[in-house]
Structures are given as C-alpha cells and as structure tokens.
Structure 1
C-alpha cells in the first residue's frame, strides 16, 4: 500500500497523547452539545478559513495551541474582548473544561478547534494572526519520540507564515531540553526574530502571562522558560 492509497499515511505524527481520559461531567457534557457547535471553528479540512469572518469586529487574532483546561485562553479573552482568541485542543476533557470557562465568563470572543492544530494552521491565510501562543506543550521526553513534538522546522515555518509582520510567537516550557529544541528550530526559521537580549528576558514571565493550575504543579525539570519571537 502506498501513501496515495491511504491518505492517513500522509498525515504527520500526532503531537498529542490521549483524546479523552476520565468521564466528562454532566454540565460540561451539555456544553459540548450546545455551546461548542456555536463557537467551533469550521472544519479546516473543508477549505481555507478567514479568521476575520469568525469575528468581523475583532481588532486582533490570537491563536493558542494546546490550551489544556482553557484557563489561560479564557483569562486572555476576558482581558481583551476586542481580540478574537482561537484555541486548539484535541483533548476532549480539556475542551469541556474550557467551555465551562467560556460559559461562566460570558466570553463572546473565543472560538475552538477541538482537533489537531496543524490542520487549522494550514487552513489560515498568510499574515492573518497577530499572536501564536504555545504554552507547556507535551515534551515527548524520549529521544525516539522527539519527532512527535509540536515544534518542528515545518511547523515553525507554518507559524511564521500565518503571523502578521510585527506579530508575536510565545513558546513556554518547563523542560530544559524542549526549550533548547524549540529555540534551535524557531531561531533558524526565516522571518522570526528572538526578542531576548538578556537572561531575564526568558527567565521572567511577560507582564500579560497568566499562571494556570497546570503551571503551578511544576512538573518539569526547570522553572518556566519564556521564548518570545517577533515576525519581521
């Protein structure tokens, strides 16, 4: 069998693990049926997606990849109601949790893609996003699993493509090896410029960073490392 015989053979390796773990709570399950369809991003496999059509009045478009339980995404959306915040998360328990935050916060500026972020990135136009946020992605520790990491040369190039000139990409991890890995790949991506001039620029959280319960667990081997890039 060749790749042309089976389109799934052409798809990149998954950069995420489980799709669902524990049972979803009844209230959140109800939101999956009611709220999610109303704020879901159109299927990117069906064709290009213009984020301006999702919220025409938005002053900016932010893309958060792997929003976990949605705490950070909801907090940023609440701070900036003029910004369209698009969140990607394939883990259904995380999506359900995020829907609760969106519902309780009455947030009208959040849209969700409950699947692989790479499909959505591929469907977005050039220079259509003001910020890309990648916070504490799965580190895939074992060397043989490094190829599953979200940040690869190909994805870094895709992020640069969708960013507007002057747009920002923020990558945060609490694993030293992944920080080195991401810095190497993002640093050699045409059009992206690392904004750090001194150690505190990557050791100290940016002023608008939101600390979540996941970050407070300190599951990594280092304090969070903040890598901030700008599209030239």
Structure 2
C-alpha cells in the first residue's frame, strides 16, 4: 500500500505533523522542500496546495490534506494516542486549544514573517512588531491558564504538547519562554527529550535551540 507523502520544510510546522506520525507508529514518506521553493508557483508543492504552505499531506488515494489541525484530526481517526476521542473529557479542551493555536497564534506568523506580502515597505516593520507583540500576549494568556500535570491536558500526552514543543523554537524563541512562560517551557522541554523524536529534532534543527535555552 502506498504511504501518505508529507511535503515539508525543515524547522517549520511540518515537524509537528511528522512527530505525530512517528509517535503513532504510522508509515509515511517525507519530502523536504527548501524554504525558497515554497514561494515558487511552479513547485511540486503548488501542484497540491495553491497556497504553497506546509505541511501538506498527499494521501495514498491522491487526496490532499493541508492545515496541521486537519491533519492532526485525520491522524486521530487512525490512532487515538495523541487526539482525545469524543467520549473523553479532554476532547473539548483539546479541540478548543488546537483551533486556538491555528486560528489565533499561527496567523501572527503568516502576517509577521512576510509582511511585504500584505503591506507596503513603509508598513512592514510595524506589522512585524505588532504581530510579534500579539503572539507574546497570546502565549502569556495560555501560561496563566495552563496547569501541566505533567502535560498540557494533565497526564495525557496529546498533539497540543507537540505543537508547543515545536512552536517554542520559533519567535520569540526558547529563552523568552523560559523567562516569561516557565510552565509552557517546562512542557516543551519534556517533549523535546522524547527519545523517539531526537532524529526528527535534529533533521529540523530544533533540538539545539532548546539546548541553548537550557544552558
């Protein structure tokens, strides 16, 4: 049977999905694209995803899944390890926070990483600063609410913990989390140490960033 193909870029959100495949023990193939390729209209990624965003998952039957939250829920249909199911008490807080991550936090990178796509040169720096500030506010909000025991939803490891671990390596970077969001940072460190994920972190150049913050 043909394996699903994950179109990815090193250090990006595709690492969140790839970590889930690994922990769930599901077979997959991965094609790492260079970041500059993502912007190319004629790239292999554009063939499957007109927005040219990763992660993009090409299923065995040719159907395409984009958006990390959609892929996460799809994976949960096959393996419930990281996705609480309908009858579980953690289902509602899981869904709430998963969609919050991709609808509130992710757009700050969409607009802030490449402000020139949305505003003129004169406004680019202001958009970058405002989205960075908004992102920090959102992380601080979650820091107040979370009670890791030892994971974000208690004693159950979920995909939310994977999201946090990877996103902790993005702006404002691990050192900021250690100082301003120590509870979230503690969870991220715990996930970063999972043995099965060490090769993935290395491939995505995420592991060393967490180590620097711990030094």
Report the TM-score range of the alignment, normalised by the length of the smaller protein.
0.3 to 0.5
- Give TM-score, length-normalised by structure 1: 0.32
- Give TM-score, length-normalised by structure 2: 0.34
Q: Which has the higher strand share?
A: 1
Q: Which has the higher helix share?
A: 2
